Amino acid sequence: MTEDVLEPDLPIIDPHHHLWDFTPIPPRDSDHPFGAIVKQSPRYLFEELLRDCRHSGHNVIGTVFLQCGAFYRVDGPAEMKPVGEVEFVNGVAARAASGIYGPFRACAGIVGQADLTLGAGVGAVLDAQIAAGNGRFRGIRHIGAHDADPEVLGPLGHAPPALYADARFREGFAELGKRGLTFDAWVLEPQIAEVTALARAFPDQPIVLDHVGTPLGLGVYAGRHDDRFAAWKGAIEELATCPNVTIKLGGLAMPFCKLGELGPETRTSAARLADLFRPYVETAIDAFGARRAMFESNFPVDRWGADYGTLWNAFKLIAKGASADEKRELFAGAAARFYRIEHLLA
């Protein structure tokens, strides 16, 4: 990043990043842009996260890890293999909590994965993850992103259609509330209503929609952002009527969105990123309010279209007209409250 850091003292909790290591195996050979993401960042571990968060010049005080299928156990029952990811990330969090890297608290909250279609049987998996998280485990993301066009998601197109309406999924979903756990929902723009239906069926369950609902720009959606914006906006405003739902403001530098000229070969300015993101981010903030909206990096996935420091400058440009209280919520407060890591702001 070569631009001056805007508002360098503003505390930031980055509520959405991943950790992975694809270096022991060949990078994914895929024509889909997700293959470029893996090749661009084959390893993203504590050192890489520390570099982005602490060396970018922004005041990132802590983060929340989001599941990405990394470091699963190779042995044992299949349903328990995701516990390995939580065990690994808790070790990363312990490194940061030692204080030898300064006040930065990486992975202060951990969001794992469990197969909620196990129904009530998923409770044993959740209990194992709670134990593995050593007080840091906060919830589950079970990805529901699906599209009939295989070009849209490429190698990430694993979820069946209408997953969140499945009876067995909902039986497992009910186990989250019994344990005070959160749920991260990743769906695509045409699926936002599925999250609304889930939120209304479980009105006491905290849910956060990832990546502003992932507006699409690949496959059959290429070049149709303007045509589809009104439908996306209406779905977001309807979802915002559910008081148990929060929204993450980011993920817009992913290839699935394909906004503007973004891509691995392009490193554009914060001002240009802000122009591309603003219609989606401002609509989401207007609908949800600052107390239910949080900026996210989604790194290293969003490195496909932006570098870390420039990305946060873009968010600060979008929020330039917000009050001091609203900025505290958007950049740290909403994330701290949703993931119960308020101690980072003490």
pLDDT tens, N- to C-terminus, the chain (346 residues): 579 999 999 999 999 999 999 888 765 557 788 888 888 899 999 999 999 998 899 999 999 999 999 999 999 999 999 999 999 999 999 999 999 999 999 999 999 999 999 999 999 999 999 999 999 999 999 999 999 999 999 989 999 999 999 999 999 999 999 999 999 999 999 999 999 999 999 999 999 999 999 999 999 999 999 999 999 999 999 999 999 999 999 999 999 999 999 999 989 999 999 999 999 999 999 999 999 999 999 999 999 999 999 999 999 999 999 999 999 999 999 999 999 999 999 9
Give the CA radius of gyration of the chain.
Answer: 19
Q: Select from 146, 82, 143 the least CA-distant residue to 110.
A: 82
Q: 3-class DSSP state for residue 313?
A: helix
Q: What are the residue boundaries of the structural domains of the chain, listed by start?
A: 11-341
Q: Select from 204, 196, 270, 266 the least CA-distant residue to 238.
A: 196
Using one digit for the tens of pLDDT, what is the confidence trace for 150-209? 999 998 999 999 999 999 999 999 999 999 999 999 999 999 999 999 999 999 999 999
| Sign of torsion over alpha carbons 199, 202, 207, 211 | negative
Please give the CATH architecture assigned to the domain spanning 11-341.
Alpha-Beta Barrel (3.20)
| Sign of torsion over alpha carbons 341, 322, 252, 210 | positive
Per-residue pLDDT, 27: 57
CA distances for 213 relative to 61, 135, 181, 239, angstroms = 26, 29, 21, 10
> Rounded to two decimals, what is the model's pTM?
0.97
The 10 Å CB-count burial string (b at 16+, else e) for 193-206 is ebbbebbeebeebb
What is the rounded distance in angstroms from the CA atom of residue 109 to the CA atom of residue 262? 30
Are 136 and 93 in contact, with CB atoms under 8 Å apart?
yes
Furthest CA-CA distance within the chain? 52
DSSP H helical ranges for the chain: 33-40, 46-55, 83-97, 123-132, 150-153, 167-178, 192-201, 225-239, 270-288, 308-318, 324-328, 334-338
